[in-house]
Structure 1
Amino acid sequence: MTAFWIEPDFDDHELVQLVSDRDSGLTALIALHSTHLGPGAGGTRFWHYAEPADAVRDVLRLSRGMSYKNAMAGLPMGGGKAVILADPAGQKTPQMLAAFGRAVNSLGGRYVTAEDVGITEADMVAIARETRFVSGLPVEGDAAGGDPGPFTAMGIYHGIKAAVRHKLGRDDMQGVHVALQGTGSVGGGVARLLARDGARLTLADIDAARAQALADELDGDAVPADAVMSTACDVFSPNALGAVLDEEGIARLDCAIVAGGANNQLARPEHGPLLAERGILYAPDYVINAGGIISVTLEYLCRTEGGPCDINEVRRRIALIPERLQQIWEESAASGLSPDQVADRMAQRLIGRG
């Protein structure tokens, strides 16, 4: 396993822990970037990595992103993340989830976990049998919590509309062309919300059948996964995995706006300014995609501290995402810094590192 401290994405993380459980076959990483504002909160990703170093890089970047995301969303939580290293077949067992739950519990509340890619509500229930430091559990009625995907989609939808208003001067989405990369829980949710407003949709996914089915449902178009970034559109919305915005990816873009839910969309820090140089408005990912963590955080605080439990409070806080984006874009225009640079500086000040 790569030494954490020589990784370029190691950013004075408070903890990077390798978890290995021989009996269950579990290999996982848990990273805490900052607990300045509260316990490190962030989901667990179940993914097959070609190389262990890729998992290290992912957990470091994701946990730092959670510090920034929670701070910018005004949540009393720090930033943490976990990745469970799946085998090529993606085998996931109850024993593996139980071992992971015990690992989370051993941190004594410094890390609070929830769903991410490859993890379901049912998995969270299994993990919760071993630890109380978990959220994203099934809820009933109008209580906050449950699957964070729809709430992430809601925030992205609000953010795309804010970007269209800021960049294109449009107060409606009728006929606005949005090309969405990824049609899973989040991307599919965004697409359905945009379709309701009359947006024109182009959809792509590594699961071509899923993209085509959604296109048929929403009267949109489906294109191959490797073609969506070069689609001429108003908004490119990345909602799959990260690091798609590198030199090659940015050169392929034919859009006015990039606004989507994928974490760590910028492959490296220099790619944010490169987008700005091309005149493309960027919605920093950890600001626009905060809806899910808002939901699971309020669920957790409701259960543990008696905080607000009403889903309407979740929706109210998600509706503030456009205001934060607007502040970032205005400061970007005034300072000459790219939106990602502005957002990073704001977040770093909030976690005591600015």
Structure 2
Amino acid sequence: MLDHEQVLIRRGPRSGLPVILALHSTALGPAAGGVRLWHYPGWRDGLTDALRLSAAMTLKFAVTDLARGGGKTVVAMPQGTRLDPARRRDVLRDVAEVIDSIGGRYAAGPDVGTSPADMAVIREFTPHVFCTPEDQGGSGDSSPHTARGTLAALRAVSRRLYGEAGLKGLRMGLIGLGHVGEHLARLLAAEGVELTVTDIDAARTRTAEEIGAAWTGPEEIISADVDILIPAALGGVLTTRVVRDLRCRAVVGPANNQLHAAEVADLLYQRGIVWIPDYVAGAGGVINAVTTELHHFTSDDARARVDTIEDIVTELLRTADDLGVTPAQAGHEMAQRRIRAA
């Protein structure tokens, strides 16, 4: 059953690419969410991604108590598509026109495949955008704030597992050294974490060497003997097969849509592995951007709001204990309670 308020699918008149805007909910306020420019086997796969990601944004805003709803834009590029600067601009203008067509019910920021510079192009054609470059008055790259929020979530989980929020000496495996993953890896190294990392790009080994992290392959890290596994790349990494191979005590990371299927959360719970929903662990970037650009908080207030992720995770785990349910179910219940109250 489709529970979204509105879904737009348009063929971009300039780019010829499918532009999909999924507006999940405006119960708490106008929706917000990223623009994903990515390759898919077909446009229907992009639609599936947009529906899932926008629903997760609703949960993210509700659990973190922000007056926003969930939305997402996906440009579904066929495999092998390459965009020169002129065509990329055409894509972004097509996206801007779709966003503008719903009259401010949704504001867009960067996501996989897009950047603050792309948001600046979109802003030429619609005001409903955030995370534009700092030198243009925006909040800029959200990656450092996403990493900071994940660090806060890790502190809460460390307290649950070991009785204290300090991370020094813990063994962690980090999957993905992209924008967020690299920022997070540097934060963890500074905290004294024994870090093992991986990425599909072998050139990232230079980052691992620089911060003193061990390097392993993407397949090997899944079964690494670590305290906490941190997915920080694309989604779908947690399959039933993968969960059976895990040797960690918790999975906490910023990657969106980590669960290949909903029942994977139950399997993690049965194995005694703490999983923090990605829409909580990865909320720092959007919290910072929305609070500064759309709600006009100061940067210090926004940073403090990001740090409350530690308290939110603590509350989520307590709720799961009280109700005797998985953290995934507890997060959903917390979000729905706030949406119903609105």
Task: Report the TM-score when normalising by structure 1.
Answer: 0.92
Q: In the aligned structure 2, how far is the partner of 1:222 from the partner of 1:121?
A: 30
Residues 136, 299 of structure 1: 8 Å contact kept? no
Which of 110, 113, 119 lines up with 1:115 in the alignment? Answer: 110
1:64-143 mapped onto 2 (5 Å cutoff): 64-87=55-78, 88-91=80-83, 93-140=88-135
Q: Which amino acid aligns with 2:92?
A: L
Residues 288, 305 of structure 2: 8 Å contact kept? no
Q: In the aligned structure 1, how far is the partner of 2:182 from the partner of 2:226?
A: 18
Q: Is there any run of 5+ residues in structure 1 with no aligned partner, and where?
A: none
Partner of 1:206: 200
Count of residue correspondences = 338
* 2:238 pairs with 1:245: yes
Residues 47, 86 of structure 1: 8 Å contact kept? yes
Partner of 1:194: 188
Superposition deviation, residue 144 in structure 1: 6.9
- Identical pairs, percent: 38
Deviating beyond 4 angstroms after TM superposition, the runs of 4 or more aligned structure 1 residues are none
Residues 60, 280 of structure 2: 8 Å contact kept? yes
* Pairwise CA RMSD: 1.7
* 2:40 pairs with 1:46: no
Residues 142, 285 of structure 2: 8 Å contact kept? yes
Superposition deviation, residue 332 in structure 1: 1.3
SS at match of 1:113: strand
SS at match of 2:11: strand
Q: Which amino acid aligns with 1:34?
A: S
Q: In the aligned structure 2, how far is the partner of 1:318 from the partner of 1:342?
A: 20
Q: Which amino acid aligns with 2:89?
A: P
Cα 1:99–1:171 shift into 2, 3 Å:
closer
1:127-206 mapped onto 2 (5 Å cutoff): 127-140=122-135, 145-206=139-200
Q: Which amino acid aligns with 1:135?
A: F
SS at match of 2:218: coil
Q: Which amino acid aligns with 2:253?
A: G
SS at match of 2:110: coil
Superposition deviation, residue 24 in structure 1: 2.3
Task: Report the TM-score when normalising by structure 2.
Answer: 0.95
Residues 21, 72 of structure 2: 8 Å contact kept? yes
- Range with greater deviation from structure 2 (101-110 or 51-60): 51-60
Q: In the aligned structure 1, how far is the partner of 2:175 from the partner of 2:254?
A: 10
Q: Which amino acid aligns with 1:168?
A: Y
Q: In the aligned structure 2, how far is the partner of 1:274 from the partner of 1:295?
A: 33
Q: Which amino acid aligns with 2:310?
A: P
* 1:207-247 CA-partner distances (Å, limit 9, x unpaired): 1221x111101111111122211111011000111121120
Partner of 2:274: 281
Partner of 2:7: 16
Which of 264, 270, 274 lines up with 2:263 in the alignment? Answer: 270
